[in-house]
Structure formats: structure tokens, C-alpha cells
Chains A and B, each alone.
Chain A
Amino acid sequence: MSTLFSFLFQFGDAFAFLVIASMGLAIIFGMMGVINLAHGEFIMCGAYTTVSLAQLGLPLPLAILGGSITAGLIGMVLERTIIRHLYHRPLDSIVATWGATQGVLIVLGSTMQGVGTPLGSFTVGGFSYSTYRVVLMGIAVLLLVSLYLFFYHTRAGVIARATIQLPRMARATGVDTGKVYTLTFGLGAALAGLAGGLYAPTMTLVPTMGATFMVESFVTVVIGGGDIFLGAAPAAAILAVIRSGMTAWQGQLFGQIGLLITVIIVIRLLPGGLSGWILGGRK
């Protein structure tokens, strides 16, 4: 029983990390096609803002929200000024987003004191667990559900998808596509900021902290393909099983190796990612 719970917990923990870390990238890279190397910096920005607000005395949930909003606003400014000129030049967008990361590293100092993980711990069998980790799992699922509802069951979500899939048609029906692009990019950045805010209490705060999310985020989005729900969500589930299984069996190094081998196999066999394969099968 306690072994089963332990495995489920580790799976849930890995799943939550992959989903929360990759949702912002799934929108900006998966949907919009901008190869966003500044993803880690949006995460870091969310984390730093969260901790600064929490140290000013704001309750942690509000501080996390503040971090997410700040990252989203910065994302929108970046989109307006730089990214929008590069939508059809993916390679140039790599350079531009990388440039943004270097700028951030120059501005910030070396380290910052954290806020500590809230909510304490609980025990099952011989193992004790952090309660906050369970909250993160819940948030990951909630995030997937609300993004699904947003993109498929609200007018704004449908307009966003239409704009990205067929911008000319959308414009012809009277949609301000420029504004939609900015808002969608902002949403992606805000989700990245949310990831930073949520994980900030559990990590060391340094300007390069976003880098530790990058590999997992890109791996999840690349395996998932263009669609968040048919792609990134099942990709996160599969990768979480591989990662927690390999790590339990042989340690962290093998967990990472497993992740990377899975990517290689998937992009060799399914160039469109999981969602491309599922949607292709439907036709």
C-alpha cells in the first residue's frame, strides 16, 4: 500500500512538474510556433516577483498570482516590440528570445533568499511527503481543465485558435489578429510565470533557475506536438511514468537519459508529435 502510494506520489509529482513547466511553452511554441528560448526567463521572472511580493507580506497565493501577471505583462511588451516582427522567421525568433535571456542575466544579481515551502508534511507508511507537492498536482490538473475550457468552450478561446490557424480568415471576419497574438503570447508568458511562482518556494532562487525547467518543457512540448490537450497532457503523463520509473530504478541520471531517449524515439517515429499522430489517425 505504502509502496503503491509512493509510486503514485512520484508519478504525480513528475507529472505536475512537466505540466506546470510546459503549459506556457505549449502555447507559445506548440500553438504559435515561436521557438521561445526566453521561456526559462519568464519562469524566473514569475519566481522572483512571487518571492519579492511574499517578502513584502503578501499571502503566498496572491504573490504567485502577482508573479504570473508580471510575467504575462512583460511577455506582452516583448511580443509587441520584438516577437511580432518574427512570426514567419522561426530561426530569428530563437536569437531574439535568447537575447532577452542574456539581458535579464545582466540586470539581476547572483542570489536571493527564498520564502520556504508552506503547508508542512504528512506520512504514509514509512515515508513522509510534502503537502505542498500534492497541491501542485491538483493545480496541474486544474490548469489543464481550465485551459481546455478556455480554448474550446469560450468565444475568446475559439478566436485565439482561429487567429493562429488561419490569420487571414480571422482578420476577414473582423478579428483584431494583432491584439489576439499579443494576448495569447501574454497568456503563455503568464503561465510560465505561474510555473515559476508555484515552484519558487521549493527551489534555490538564482537568475539561471529557469534553465532547470527548459529541457523538461521543450521535451514535453516536442513530444506532444501542436495541440495542448491531445499532445502535451498525454506527453506529460507518459514522460512522468518513464521519469519516475527510471529514477526509482537507477537514479536521477537514468531518469534524464530515459526522458531524452523517449524524445529521440518519438520524433523519429511521430514527427508531428502525439497530437499530430492522434489527429492524423482520425482523418
Chain B
Amino acid sequence: MPSGRQFVKAMRLGGAIGVLTASVALAQDAIKIGVLEDQSGDFAAATMVKVNAITLAAEEINAAGGIGGRPVELVVYDTQSDNTRYQEFMRRVLQSDQVDVVFAGFSSASREAYRPIVNQFDGLAFYNNQYEGGVCDANMIVTGAVPEQQFSTLIPWMMEKYGNNVYTLAADYNFGQISAEWVRQIVEENGGTMVGEEFIPLGVSQFGQSIQNIQAAKPGFVVTLLVGAAQASYYEQAAAANVNLPMASSVNVGQGYEHKRFTPPSLKDMYVTTNFIEEVDTPAAKAFIEKFRARFPDEPYINQEAANSYIAMNLYKLMVERAGTTDHAALRAEIAKGDVCFDGPSGNVCLDPKSQHMSHTIFLAKVEADHSISFPNVWENIAPYWLGEAGCDLTKNDPSAQYTPSSPPPQE
């Protein structure tokens, strides 16, 4: 015979089942968002925070009544810093989970691995990472900064301050090669000289000879486009050899918070252009950091991709509410109007109709000898202009291709 306590337990269970069915009924109306980010492996240090940023945005949206009255439901998979996992999980979220939109990818290799699958199933994916630029694809919306935002600002500023001789040290894969091409072009346009360029295979950790090549070439500053933990050994080794040259980068600090992880002063005089890092001293940035830390107190660092992911969630909400549907064509019609903007942690940002990339306020972050950050310069509202000027116009056609300065869109 059930005692009083057991009876209460049974009643509670019944109640729980009732709640469960209610949430199932709700889930049918929910807007499903696939989240494919690296929560383990080589890139996890920089990308775990993206999942938390998306969670934070989803909780805020749900607390405020959802998107157009529909709650948001996240479908999260760990892609393990592995490109084949991206392909596998992209198929799963689009085919069996039937999500309305996907937030996916850190490295450019991973993006290029999943992009054909998004095209195949005509999905919609947000790529919330800074990258080498040039993706002209109607199924993709990019909120990360691109070279015309990071390099057209950074390189001329560095040349003005440290002279016209530039040396590039870059990771040897699509990101490093295309970024180096951008640097080369901007240096030439500004009347400078590339005194050296070296591409480093991923996984290389010994830089003795490269350090000597750099010293022999006597550049004014070094552009470091190194990726991954092994290659990051360069900074310590260059500092130990007393190379003592300023560095310019689009990837460091803003993503992998190397200034927090490495021993000072190995990153001394590194200059990075980024649209957000947790040291940014604006009221909007501070408010974002505060609510982020309140929700995730153990977060080691809130980087630019965290801000981009948070912004992307809010842009998606805005677009769906304006269109009144999650239909991709209707959402893109909203982007085509050219006024999808959001006032978020990094200031006001807008989506560009031609390329579906985002405008940014770019902060120049300088790492000091004690690894604190100062901001010698800020560029307001830099548009992602290159693709549109080069001939990509997603309001007219969809080539689903990636272009570079040396292989621009075909001219009509």
C-alpha cells in the first residue's frame, strides 16, 4: 500500500508528464536552430564561447516571448574541430532534425566542407567568424569581419607607423593563402614592398629558420596569420630570440585570446583589427560582458565570435519577425531592402544585400608588454564592400562560389 509520501511522488510524476506533453505541443511551433560548433579538439578554446553566446541569446529571446510568439529551440552538436563531423552533422540537422537555420563553423576549411551540403538541401547558414572573405552564396549569411574590414584598415595604419617593408608569415591553407594575397595587394596599393612571405604547414612548431629569415629581410613589421596551437609557438620563440618587431594580425587576440594564455611579453606590440573583444570600452560592450558573465561566470574569455554569434541570433529574430515566416526567400527579400540592422555589443551593424555580409565598427587592439590591451584607433561602420564592388550581387543571382582578389567574380 502506498504511503502518503509515495502518493505525493506519484502525483508529482503525473504533473511532470503533464508539463512534458505541454512542452511537446509547444515544440511543434518552436523555431529550430541548429548549432554546429567545436566544443572539443584543436579549436575548442576559441569556440566553446560561441555556443554559450547562442544559448544566452536564445534564453533572452524566449524570455521576451520568442520570435514572433514562437519559442526558439537549439539543436546543438559538437563538431570536434573535425571537417568530416561538420558534413555529417550538417546533413543531420538539415535532413532529420529539419532545423529552420544553422549556426556553424570556425575554420574556413570547415565552412568550405559544409557549404555544399547547405546548398544541396537549400538550407540557411550563419557563419559567425572572421575569415578571408569572398563567399558569394545566397544560402550563407556572414557576420564575421572580412579582409576589407580587417586589412584595409590595419595594413595602411601599420605602414604609416612602422614603414613600408612588410613580411608575412601565414598558415599554409585556404585562410592563410587568401589572407596573404590580400595583404600583398594592399601593401602594393600603398606603395610598400613585400620583403618576404612564408607559408607554414599546419602543425609546425619549430620556427628557428623562419625567425632568421625574418631578421635577414629586415621588415618594418611582420603580418602573422598563424593558426592552431602548434603554430602559436612562434610568438614565444620569436620573443626568446629577441626579434622585437611589431606584429599585425587578423586572427590573434580576437579569437584565441593569446594575450591571456601566453606568458608576457611574447605578444608585445601585436596589433589586431577586431570588431569586438572583452576589453572594448563602450557602454554596449560592457553591458554585454556583464550579462554574459552573469549567465556564464566561468567563461575564460568573451571573444569577437561570441559577439558575432549573439548578433546573428538577434538579426535572425529581426528578419523572421519582419517577414512573418522562416521561409528563406522571404528572409532574403528582407535583407535585400538593405535595412536589416542591429544595435548590439559591437555597435550598430547592418547586413549588406549584395554579399549578405555584415558592416562592422573595427577596433585596433594593441597588446602591451604586460599583455594588457589598448586601442590606438577605431574605424566606424566599415562596410563589407569588396564582393559587391567586384560583381557579386545575391539579389540578382547566386553563384554559390568563393572569390579572391586574383580570381574575382566573372565580369559580364
Q: Do A and B bind each other?
A: yes
B323 in the interface, Cβ–Cβ < 8 Å? no
* Given A113-B263, A204-B232, A208-B42, A256 contacting B201 (CB threshold 8 A): yes
Kindly state the separation between the CA atoms of A29 and B233 in the bound complex, as whole angstroms.
28
B316 → A minimal CB distance (Å): 29
Query: From residue 189 to 228 of chain B, which have CB atoms closer than 8 A to chain A?
Result: 198-201, 203-206, 208-210, 212-213, 215-216, 218
Q: Return chain B residues, CB-CB under 8 Å to A36.
A: none
* Given A116-B263, A209-B229, A203 contacting B240 (CB threshold 8 A): no
Q: Return chain B residues, CB-CB under 8 Å to A244.
A: 209
A259 → B minimal CB distance (Å): 12
Q: Return chain A residues, CB-CB under 8 Å to B213.
A: 248
Of A127-135, A156-164, A169-177, A231-239, the one with at least 4 CB within 8 A of chain B:
A127-135
Q: Are B240 and A117 in contact (CB under 8 A)?
A: yes
User: How many residues of chain A get a CB closer than 8 Å to chain B's CBs?
Assistant: 40
Q: List 23 A-B contacts (CB under 8 A).
A: A10-B212, A17-B206, A111-B45, A113-B261, A116-B266, A120-B242, A126-B216, A126-B218, A127-B216, A128-B215, A128-B243, A133-B241, A202-B233, A203-B236, A204-B232, A204-B236, A204-B261, A244-B209, A251-B198, A252-B200, A253-B172, A253-B199, A253-B201
* Given A121-B242, A204-B233, A212 contacting B203 (CB threshold 8 A): yes
B239 in the interface, Cβ–Cβ < 8 Å? yes
A143 in the interface, Cβ–Cβ < 8 Å? no
* Given A130-B240, A202-B233, A248 contacting B209 (CB threshold 8 A): yes
A-B contact count (CB 8 A): 111
A227 in the interface, Cβ–Cβ < 8 Å? no
Q: Are A114 and B216 in contact (CB under 8 A)?
A: no
Kindly state the separation between the CA atoms of A129 and B209 in the bound complex, as whole angstroms.
11
B306 → A minimal CB distance (Å): 16
Residue of chain A at shortest CB distance from B44: A110
Q: 1/0 per position for A214-256, CB-CB distance to B under 8 A?
A: 0000000000000000000000000000001001100111011
Q: Return chain A residues, CB-CB under 8 Å to B201.
A: 252-253, 256
B237 in the interface, Cβ–Cβ < 8 Å? yes
Q: 1/0 per position for B347-361, CB-CB distance to A under 8 A?
A: 000000000000000
Kindly state the separation between the CA atoms of A1 and B232 in the bound complex, as whole angstroms.
31
Q: Are B229 and A247 in contact (CB under 8 A)?
A: no
Kindly state the separation between the CA atoms of A23 and B204 in the bound complex, as whole angstroms.
20
Residues of A within 8 A of B (CB): 6, 9-10, 13-14, 17, 110-111, 113-117, 120-121, 123, 126-130, 132-133, 201-204, 206, 208-209, 211-212, 244, 247-248, 251-253, 255-256
Residues of B within 8 A of A (CB): 42, 44-45, 172, 198-201, 203-206, 208-210, 212-213, 215-216, 218, 229-230, 232-233, 236-237, 239-244, 261-264, 266
Q: Return chain B residues, CB-CB under 8 Å to A126.
A: 215-216, 218
Q: Are A212 and B204 in contact (CB under 8 A)?
A: yes
Q: Are B212 and A121 in contact (CB under 8 A)?
A: no
* Given A6-B212, A114-B236, A204-B230, A212 contacting B262 (CB threshold 8 A): no
Kindly state the separation between the CA atoms of A104 and B293 in the bound complex, as whole angstroms.
30
Q: Are A127 and B215 in contact (CB under 8 A)?
A: yes
Find the residue from B205, B212, B266 having the highest chain A CB count within 10 A. Answer: B212
Partner of A129, one of B205, B241, B261, B264: B241
A240 → B minimal CB distance (Å): 11
Q: Are B241 and A121 in contact (CB under 8 A)?
A: yes
Q: Return chain B residues, CB-CB under 8 Å to A128.
A: 215, 241-244
Q: Are B237 and A252 in contact (CB under 8 A)?
A: no
Partner of A10, one of B42, B45, B209, B264: B209
Kindly state the separation between the CA atoms of A6 and B210 in the bound complex, as whole angstroms.
12
Q: Return chain B residues, CB-CB under 8 Å to A202.
A: 233, 236-237, 240
* Given A113-B262, A114-B263, A211 contacting B203 (CB threshold 8 A): yes
Q: Are A203 and B205 in contact (CB under 8 A)?
A: yes
